[in-house]
Structures are given as C-alpha cells and as structure tokens.
Structure 1
Amino acid sequence: MSARDSILQRLRNRSGGELSVPECDFSVLQRPVSSVAERIEQFQKTIESVHGEVHSCTRDSWVAQLADILSARDARCLLVPGAHEIGRRLRESEQDDLPELLIYDEPIESWQPHLFNNVDASITSTRGGIAETGSLILWPTPDEPRLMSLVPPIHIAVLEASELYATFHEAMQAQIWASGMPTNALLVSGPSKTADIEQTLAYGVHGPKELIVLVIE
C-alpha cells in the first residue's frame, strides 16, 4: 500500500466509511433576472466607484470615441491586437486622429523596454463583464498577452453589452468554464490600486493609472 493509500484508508476508518462530497447549493448566488440596460447601469456605477471610466458606444461609433478619448490624453501611441477584430478595425479605419498603432509581435525580451517606457495606451478585447462587482473578464492569448492590460498607463477594454453578466457565477455557467480554461485568466476591477503604504489606498502604482471601458451596445 502506498503512503497515499494508507492516509486515505486511515481517513475512511476514522469517518466510519467512504468519504462523500456534499452536494453543492449555488442558489445563494442566483439573482433576479435583469435587462441589459440594468446590468450596464450597475456595472458602470460599480466600476466608476473605483475610478474606472465607462463609455457607451455603438459598433459604428466606438473608433471615433476612442480617438477622442486618446486625443484628450495626448496619447502618442496605442498598442493593439495583431489578429483580433479590434486591431484589424483600427488599422483599417479612416479615422485620421488616432495615435500611432503598435502591435505586440515580438518576444518580450526584446519588446520589454519599449513596452514599459514608451507605450502610452493599449486596447484589448474582453470575454465579458460582471455587473455586480464592476469587473472585466480577460483571457490572455498570444495575440493579446496579459502584459497588454497590466503595463501601459492607460488600458482600454472593449466590452460587448450582450456579454455582461449579473454575477461571476452566471458568467462561468453561461460560458461553460468547466469545459476548459486558459492557463491565466484575469478579473479587472478598475485601474491598479494598492494600500501597502500606511494602508492608504493609492491608484496607478503597480499598473495602469486609468481603465476605460467601451461598452458596445
């Protein structure tokens, strides 16, 4: 008998039989049915309470709104996905007031100094959002590495209103997370913040100073 089997056998003997897993009751996590408009309102209220910024857009207007947002901040460049529809739309756009568009298409060893010192803003897609906590769900990919959302001073996230869920549990169920997840998943709730120094909350210390969400309705 292996050490593992021996330990399990002792546990069975102590409990008087086979170990059983209790049934899970997730009813406490259920929320009343809400409309998309109600979820957007709750999401915006929650994320803005921690210094996030939300802009409602349409599929035709978001590029122009993005250009205005970046122009107001004097952003010189924007890091975009290489293959994702967001990156393609920006590169093919005739919007002439967009900043220089960059693509994260080389190893981090050669790209790191430029990423940390010269990139003003980045834009990423999202896998959805959570209205209750004002959180964005990001699943990094080779096309959108996690450093795109963690390093530049301004992180802009594009969120489809139809993918805004009431709770984290609802998001996991609707997207069938149990069938497979990436090696790294991110929940982003506002710009970076810390209370390490004298327990005083400070924003933008270890990552983006601004989080701007474009909600596509």
Structure 2
Amino acid sequence: MSSRDAILQRLRNRSGGELAIPDCDFSVLQRPSSSVAERVDQFQKTIESVHGEVHRCTSENWITQLADLLSSRGARNLLVPAAHQIGRTLRDADSNELPELLIYDEPIHSWQAQLFNEVDASITSTRGGIAETGSLIMWPTPDEPRLMSLVPPIHIAVLEASELYSTFHEAMQDQNWASGMPTNALLVSGPSKTADIEQTLAYGVHGPKELIVLVIE
C-alpha cells in the first residue's frame, strides 16, 4: 500500500466526532497597564523610528499647528473629508493661513488626474492607534476613502490621545472588531517604504512621502 493509500485509509477508518476547539490563551499579548502619557510617548518613539512625524496638540491649537506645518512645506492645497467633524471644523475655521481646501466628493474616475497630480496634502481621522507598534488604525469610509491616505505626498492623520491602545489585541477587544469590520482596514506605521531596489530600504517611493500625526492631548 502506498503512503497516499495509507493516509486515505486512516481517514476512512476514523471514528468521527467533532474536533475539540482548544481554549484560546491571549495572556501572552497582555501588557502592564500604562497611562495615556506613557502610551503617547511610546507611540511617538516607535513611529518616529520609521520616519513618521508626531506633533502634540490640543483641541484649541491643532489648526494653527496644521497651518504652520503645511506652510513650511509649501502645500498649495489640503484634501479634507466632507462630512467628518475634522473637515467641517477646518472649513469653518477663521484662518487665512490654511491653503485651499479640497473635498473628495465625486467618483474617482472624474478627478483621478487631479488627485494624483495636483493634491499636495490630505488630512484624515483615525480610529485609534497602537503604541507598541507605532501604528494608526484607519477604517476607510465613503467620506474618507482610502485613496485620501495613500495618494497625496503628505498625509496628516488626527489621533486622539485617549484612543491610543497598548497593543493591537487590546484595540480589537476594546472596539469589538468581532461584531463587524469594513471591507478594508488599514494599519499605517509611517510613510511609504520599500526594499525592492537592491534590498535597500527607501522611503517615499510609492504613496505618501511624509506621514504627520497630530496627537490631540
């Protein structure tokens, strides 16, 4: 009898019965409790190690800091969400320092050339962050399509310090990801990078050349 026949015979001779599902032990993923300030420090250290940029702000001064960052980079425009509070706040802001505000409110095929060639920067919300890996959690929506964070050379993400989690597992549990997820979820850990060319790590080759995180404390 060949090895294949022996395996098939053993399968046929099985007595049957349901397989027991082993208990899941996630204790290895647990971390000691930490303060918001400690998580922000860890997040900043980790994401800056891979060329991300973090600026700590308050709800009162984040627009001023945003305007300064865009001005220092010579950004001519900023792509903002139409419905999200971030977009509404920026459009209502009485600031002459902000560049022209653009809205992603039409199908991609109708303005693809402009998005890929003329948009200098974009700003999006986040669903939280992971301190351990220096990652942003993003769930694209029709109001904030994923191209907003993947195409413009400068991607600015707004992160509430209170929504920083120690680990990925903690974020999934606290936000109850098991109850439903979008068709596309993003974990962003710095600007675009690749090592395809001679196995040398290079940044800004495809996608955003800069990732700027405004942490609202």
Please say whether Structure 1 and Structure 2 have the same fold, judged by a TM-score greater than 0.5: yes
Q: Does the 8 A contact of 1:77 with 1:99 survive in 2? A: yes
1:106-152 Cα offsets, whole Å, 9 max, x none, are 11101111000000000000000000000000000000000000000
**1:31-180 to 2 correspondences below 5 Å:** 31-180=31-180
Distance 1:41 1:13, change over 3 A: farther
Question: How many Å separate the matches in 1 of 2:99 and 2:90?
Answer: 10
**1:18-37 to 2 correspondences below 5 Å:** 18-37=18-37
How far is the alpha carbon of 1:14 from its aligned partner? 3.7
How far is the alpha carbon of 1:19 from its aligned partner? 1.2
1:157-187 Cα offsets, whole Å, 9 max, x none, are 0000000000000000010000110010000
1:8-67 Cα offsets, whole Å, 9 max, x none, are xx8695476321211100000000000000000000000000000000000010000000
Question: How many Å separate the matches in 1 of 2:68 and 2:104?
Answer: 23
Question: How many Å separate the matches in 1 of 2:48 and 2:62?
Answer: 19
Q: Does the 8 A contact of 1:155 with 1:210 survive in 2? A: yes
Question: How many Å separate the matches in 1 of 2:100 and 2:155?
Answer: 16
**Other structure's SS at 1:215 match:** strand
Q: Does the 8 A contact of 1:12 with 1:18 survive in 2? A: no
TM-score normalised over the length of structure 1: 0.93
Aligned to 2:212: 212
Instruction: Calculate percent identity across the aligned residue pairs.
Output: 84
Aligned to 1:5: none
Question: How many Å separate the matches in 2 of 1:104 and 1:215?
Answer: 24
Question: How many Å separate the matches in 1 of 2:25 and 2:12?
Answer: 25
Aligned to 1:4: none
Amino acid at match of 2:194: T
Distance 1:131 1:13, change over 3 A: farther
Distance 1:15 1:64, change over 3 A: farther
Question: How many Å separate the matches in 2 of 1:190 and 1:149?
Answer: 11
Specify every segment of 5 or more residues in structure 1 that has no aligned partner in the other structure, as ranges: 1-9
Question: How many Å separate the matches in 1 of 2:31 and 2:184?
Answer: 27
Question: How many Å separate the matches in 2 of 1:137 and 1:194?
Answer: 21
TM-score normalised over the length of structure 2: 0.93
Question: How many Å separate the matches in 2 of 1:185 and 1:41?
Answer: 25
Distance 1:113 1:12, change over 3 A: farther
Q: Does the 8 A contact of 1:80 with 1:124 survive in 2? A: yes
Specify every segment of 5 or more residues in structure 2 that has no aligned partner in the other structure, as ranges: 1-9
- Superposition CA RMSD, Å: 1.3
How far is the alpha carbon of 1:206 from its aligned partner? 1.1
Q: Which structure is larger by alpha-carbon Rg, 1 or 2?
A: 2
Distance 1:17 1:77, change over 3 A: same
Aligned to 1:195: 195
